[in-house]
Chains A and B, each alone.
Chain A
Amino acid sequence: METGPPNDFPRDARLDENDPVWRLLARAPLPEPDAWFAARTLARCRYEAPSVEAETFSPARFARIWRWALGSGLALTLALALVVTHIHSEKAEKQRKVQEAFEIMASIDTDSDSSSTSPWQDSSF
C-alpha cells in the first residue's frame, strides 16, 4: 500500500524525496522562533499599527468621527458668526460716522446760505 506525503503535490514531492540533496536539506530544519515571539509581535502590532479601524469602516470609528465633526462644525460656526457680527458692527459704526459727517456738512451749508444777508455781500453799500 502506497501512501504519499500530505501535501498538494504528491508526485513532485515523491520525486523530491528521492533526491539525496533534498534529504540532506531536511537534516537542517527551519529554526523555530522563541516562546515569546507571538506576544512580542502582538505588542508591536498594537504599537506600530494603532488600530485596524484606521483602514476600515466600523461604527466606533464613525461615532468618533461624527463627534469630532460635530464639535468642529459648531466651533467653526460660532467663529464665523463672531467675525460676521464684528464686521457688521464695524460697518454700521462707519456708516453712522459718515452720516454724522454729512449732517454736519449739511448744517454748514445751511449756515452759509443764511449768510447771504451778510453786510459784506449787501450791494446797497
Chain B
Amino acid sequence: MKTRPRDKDWARASAGDSDAHDKALMVRIAGGDETALRDLIEKHQGAVYGTIAKMLGDPVEAHDLAQQVFVRVYRAAGSYRATAQFKTWMFTIVRNLVFNEHRRRSRATLVPLHPPDNEPVPSGGPSGLNLPDLANKTPVENMLRQEMLRKIDEAILLLPEQQRLAIVLRRYDEFSYEQIAAILKITVPATKSLLFRARETLRVALREYLGTAAAKK
C-alpha cells in the first residue's frame, strides 16, 4: 500500500516531464528546427494515427488526417502558447478534424468500411488495421480472433462520435477525465456519463465475447 503515493508521484512527474519536453520541442519548431518536428511526430504518431484510425475505421483516411494534424501543429508552432497540456491541445486538433470528417462523410455516399460477412477478410486483419498473430495459433483460432477484432472495431464504430472519441481517448490513449473533458469541450461529469453510456452500449454489442456473467452485469 505504501507504494501507491510513490507510483502516483512518479506518474505525475513522468507526465509532467513529457509535457515539458513537448513544449520545449514546440519552442524549437517555432525557431525552424526540423529535427524537433521529426521528434514530435515520432513521439506522437502512434497515438494520433491510432486514435484517428479507430475513430474512422479507414487506415488510408487516417493517414491523411494524422498528417494534417501534424501540419497544423507545425503551422501553429509560432503562435502556440503553453497554457494547457500539449497533448490535450494536440488532441483538440484531432477532435476537430475527425468530427469535420464525420460531417463530410455524412453528406457523401461512401463505400462500407468492412467487407460483407460472406467476403473473405483481407490479410492484415479487419480493414487492414490489425496484424494477426499467425505464428502461434491454429487457423481456426486466427479466424476466431480476427472475427472478434472485427466485432470490437465495428462496435466502437457504431458508437456516437462523442462517445467513440471518449472511449478511445480513455481506453487506448489513457487520458484522464479532465483531459477528455477539455478535448471534447464538456464538463467532467458529462464525460463520465458519456463513458458510462459508451461502455454499456459496448457491453451489449460485445456480450458474446464477455461471457454470460459479464453480459448480465
Binding site for B on A (CB under 8 A): 1-10, 12-13, 16, 19-22, 24-33, 37-38, 40-42, 44-46, 48-49, 51-56, 58
Contact = CB atoms under 8 A, between A and B. Distances in A.
Contacts of B12: 8
A28 B156 CA distance: 11
Contacts, number: 150
Contacts of A4: 4, 7-8
Nearest to A54: B78
B78 A52 contact: yes
Contact of A45 (B37, B129, B209): B37
A25 B199 CA distance: 10
A31 B63 contact: no
A38 B149 CA distance: 27
Interface of B: 1, 3-4, 7-8, 10-12, 14-15, 29-32, 34, 37-38, 41-42, 45-47, 49-51, 53-54, 59, 62-63, 66-67, 70-71, 74-79, 129-130, 148-149, 152-153, 156, 167-168, 170-174, 176-177, 199, 202-203, 206, 209-211, 214, 217
Nearest to A58: B32
Given A29-B172, A44-B71, A38 B206 contact: no
B208 to A, nearest CB: 11
B90 to A, nearest CB: 13
A56 B152 contact: no
A22 B199 CA distance: 8
Contact of A52 (B32, B148, B177, B217): B32
Given A19-B199, A40-B67, A42-B34, A12 B177 contact: yes
B68 to A, nearest CB: 8
Contacts of A9: 176-177
A52 B41 contact: no
The 6 nearest A-B residue pairs measured at CB: A30-B50, A56-B78, A55-B78, A20-B214, A33-B49, A31-B129
Given A21-B202, A29-B130, A56-B30, A7 B67 contact: no
Given A1-B3, A31-B59, A56-B78, A8 B176 contact: yes
Contacts of B78: 52-56
* Residue in A12, A42, A58 whose Cβ sees the most chain B Cβ within 10 Å: A42
A51 B32 contact: yes
Given A28-B130, A30-B50, A52-B29, A13 B174 contact: yes
A70 to B, nearest CB: 24
B13 to A, nearest CB: 11
A49 B206 CA distance: 44
Nearest to B217: A20
Nearest to A51: B32
A92 to B, nearest CB: 54
Contacts of A26: 171
Contacts of A7: 11, 15, 174, 176
Contacts of B15: 7-8
A3 B3 CA distance: 7
